[in-house]
C-alpha cells in the first residue's frame, strides 16, 4: 500500500508518520518569556546535531490554527532555553504540560514541577529531571506556512547538568537506572526498562 503525503489530510498524515518515526526521545523544554513568564512543554521531534559545536534540534509545530507555540515565541524573544529529559516517573506530570494553556499560565505550577536556577541561562531547569542541557539559540528554520508547519530550533549546548546518582561506573548516564521514555504514535509511549535494552558492538570495519 502506498501513501502520498500531498494527497492526505494533515491529521491522517500526522498519525501515519508518528507511528513510523518512533520511538522518539522527548525534549522537555523550559523557557522564560521576555517579560519573565515561565513555560514548560514537551516535544518529541527532537535530536542531537553536530559536536563542533555541540548542538541539538527540536521542532515545535504551529497549532491547528497556524499560531506559534509559546516555547517558540519565548526562544525568539530571549534566545535561551533548557532541554530536560523525561523519566518514567515524570511521565504523567509531563503529559499535563502538553495541553494548550494560555500564554500566561505557568506549566511548572500546573504539573507540580520545580523550577531550579540554571547556571548559564536565565530559564530554569526542571529539578525533577536527572539531566538538563542549557541551550543558546543558533537559528530557527521555518518550513512551510500555516497550521502544523515546522519550526526547527537549532541550539548550542552550553552546559550539561547530570545528577550524580544517575551516573554509571563509567561516569556517563546509566540507561539501566534512568529509565527514559520515548514517544510512539497515538497515545502510546515506550518505557526503556532494563529488560528492553540490548547492546551491539560497533563493527571495526575492514
| 3-state SS track over the chain | CCCCHHHCCHHHHHHHHHHHCCCEECEEEEEECCCCCEEEEEECCEEEEEECCEEEEECCCCCCCCCCCHHHHHHHHHCEEEEECCEHHHHHHHHHCCCCCCCCCCHHHHHCCCEECCCCCCCCEECCCCEEEEEEEEEEEEECCCCCCEEEEEEEEEEEEECHHHECCCCCECHHHHCEEEECCCCCEEECCHHHCCCCCCCCCC
Strand 131-143 relative to strand 46-51, pairing: unpaired
> Is the pTM of the predicted complex or chain greater than 0.85?
yes
Q: What is the pLDDT of residues 77-129, one digit of tens each?
A: 999 999 999 999 999 999 999 999 999 999 999 999 999 999 999 999 999 99
Burial 110-146 (b: 16+ CB within 10 A, else e): ebebebbebeebebbbbebbbbbbbbbeeeeeeeeee
- pLDDT in single tens digits along all 206 residues of the chain: 999 999 999 989 999 999 999 999 999 999 999 999 999 999 999 999 999 999 999 999 999 899 999 999 999 999 999 999 999 999 999 999 999 999 999 999 999 999 999 999 999 999 999 999 999 999 999 999 989 999 999 999 999 999 999 999 999 999 999 999 999 999 999 999 999 999 999 999 88
pLDDT value at residue 101: 94
pLDDT value at residue 205: 85
Q: What is the pLDDT of residues 96-110, one digit of tens each?
A: 999 999 999 999 999
Q: What are the grid coordinates assigned to 117, written together?
A: 536556577
pLDDT value at residue 171: 95
Amino acid at each position: 500500500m502506498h501513501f502520498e503525503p500531498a494527497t492526505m489530510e494533515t491529521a491522517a498524515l500526522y498519525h501515519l508518520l508518528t507511528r513510523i518515526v518512533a520511538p522518539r526521545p522527548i525534549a522537555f523544554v523550559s523557557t522564560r518569556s521576555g517579560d519573565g513568564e515561565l513555560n514548560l512543554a514537551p516535544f518529541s521531534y527532537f535530536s542531537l546535531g553536530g559536536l563542533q559545536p555541540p548542538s541539538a534540534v527540536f521542532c515545535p509545530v504551529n497549532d491547528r490554527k497556524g499560531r506559534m507555540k509559546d516555547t517558540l515565541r519565548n526562544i525568539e524573544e530571549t534566545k535561551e532555553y533548557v532541554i530536560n529529559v523525561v523519566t518514567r516517573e515524570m511521565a504523567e506530570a509531563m503529559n499535563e504540560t502538553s495541553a494548550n494553556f494560555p500564554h500566561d499560565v505557568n506549566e511548572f505550577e500546573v504539573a507540580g514541577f520545580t523550577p531550579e536556577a540554571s547556571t548559564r541561562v536565565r530559564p530554569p531547569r526542571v529539578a525533577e529531571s536527572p539531566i538538563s542541557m542549557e541551550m543558546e539559540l543558533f537559528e530557527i528554520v521555518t518550513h512551510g506556512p500555516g497550521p502544523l508547519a515546522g519550526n526547527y530550533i537549532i541550539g548550542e549546548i552550553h552546559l550539561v547538568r547530570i545528577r550524580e546518582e544517575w551516573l554509571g561506573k563509567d561516569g556517563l548516564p546509566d540507561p539501566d537506572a534512568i529509565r527514559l521514555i520515548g514517544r510512539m504514535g497515538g497515545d502510546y509511549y515506550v518505557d526503556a526498562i532494563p529488560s528492553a535494552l540490548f547492546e551491539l558492538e560497533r563493527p571495526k570495519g575492514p
